[in-house]
Copies of this chain bind each other. A is one copy, B any other.
Amino acid sequence: MMAKQVQQDQLYIGIDGGGTKCRATIYSKQHGVLGTGLGGPANPLHGLERTLESIMVSTQLALQDAGLRVEQVHELNAGMGLAGVNLPALYDKIMQWDHPFQQMFLTTDLHTACIGAHEGQDGAVIITGTGSCGFSIVNGESVNYGGHGFAQGDIGSGAWMGLEATKAVLLDLDELGPTTRLSGTFKSHFNTLTAMGIAEQMAGQPSSVYAKLARLVFDAAEQQDEVALSIVTQGADYISRLAKRLLENNPPRLSMIGGLSEPLNKWLDPEIAKLVELPKQPPEMGAIYFAIKNVEQDLIKAN
């Protein structure tokens, strides 16, 4: 009787790991979303221990929020989207984890974001936040472009814009490049009058710190600053090319996700901008769809 009930209304947990937080959502097909939880950083490329800890924290909070008992973690079918698990070594390491779930299905954060955006259906996504990349899944085939990391890739991302702006300001202050109103903005922002004062504060900073400068670039572009316009246009052109590359695979939908999708939109190729549709569901729901699909496939195989 119990086994049958479980089979009829399996419990799922969708986990979306990110560089700053980890989101977990508990769901059943009959009752929909039962509860959610928020944990700390969960990017295994920046630390596996921390990632697993954040997954457990968000899971426990989601169980509590759903009014479930702590032990019911063993009843959860987990779908999980994490950065970097396209690397077989990292995938294997996480799959070797002595996890508490009934089952665990692991894929990349891009994959779950894409599944979420299109409510489990085929489609393509472009993610532009601190970093940037493109992903599509069509008829079971996935491809991804970009996402090569700061400072060598991730064109059009917040970190890229912040870095390009910093380079331009340092050139201007040395009188070795075009003048830009960004120089005045940066002087105030960094509370310094010199190029060296800015360079020192930014040297060795992670991409997240550069990404915080992106809004200054958009502001200056709005004010028709040539240098800022050139940065925003270059970034948006890359994102438009990325979109066209993804469209070659004929995904039925295209969404943009991340903090820069809204400010970038008006700078995109108009042909692309009009194709972009809002994501239907967040990545943690994508992780749930991923788990459901795997559980149901296993059931089909078992019968």
Contacts and interface: CB of A to CB of B under 8 A. Distances in A.
Interface in A242-282: 242, 245
A293 B184 CA distance: 40
Contacts of A200: 87
B245 A175 contact: yes
A174 B199 CA distance: 32
Interface in A166-202: 166-167, 170-171, 174-176, 195-196, 199-200, 202
A238 interface: yes
Interface stretch (A10-18, A98-106, A147-155, A284-292): A147-155
Contact of A199 (B153, B196, B199): B153
A241 interface: yes
A238 B242 CA distance: 30
Given A174-B245, A176-B241, A195 B148 contact: yes
Interface in A82-98: 86-87
Interface residues of A, number: 29
A204 B206 CA distance: 10
A247 to B, nearest CB: 13
Copy tally for this chain in the complex stands at: 2
A146 interface: yes
Nearest to A205: B152
A189 B145 CA distance: 22
A203 interface: yes
A163 interface: yes
A202 B87 contact: no
A196 B86 contact: yes
A168 to B, nearest CB: 10
Given A174-B245, A176-B241, A245-B176, A199 B145 contact: no
7 contacts: A146-B174, A148-B199, A152-B166, A153-B170, A153-B199, A174-B245, A175-B245
Interface of A: 86-87, 145-146, 148-149, 151-153, 155, 163, 166-167, 170-171, 174-176, 195-196, 199-200, 202-204, 238, 241-242, 245
